[in-house]
Amino acid sequence: MWLSPLEPRARHQDIGAQRVDNIGAWLLETAEFRRWYKGSGEDECYHPTLFCHGDPGVGKSYIM
């Protein structure tokens, strides 16, 4: 039994084919991303999930 008629694999492949090289590279350079990636430092907290929110159509899927 399928939970949804959507085809996430096909959508993922379609978006991947449309991506432009280095799109979203700016995100990797932000202080916020670097802090998340390295952990919070002193308290050695580990955050395994990065939540990226925004309105539909702003490019979240393409940055992934």
What is the per-residue pLDDT across 1-56, written as a single tens digit (0 to 9) for each?
567 788 888 888 988 888 888 888 888 899 988 888 887 555 555 667 778 889 98
Note the pTM of the prediction, 2 decimals: 0.53
In a domain, 40, yes or no: yes
Residue 5: inside a domain, yes or no? no
Residue 62 DSSP one-character state:
H
CB count, 10 Å around CB of 33?
13
Domains identified in the chain, total number:
1
In a domain, 1, yes or no: no
Residue 29 lies in a domain: yes
Question: What range defines the domain where residue 50 resides?
Answer: 22-63
Any domain includes 55: yes
Instruction: Give domain status of residue 14, yes or no.
Output: no
Q: Confirm whether 27 is domain-assigned.
A: yes
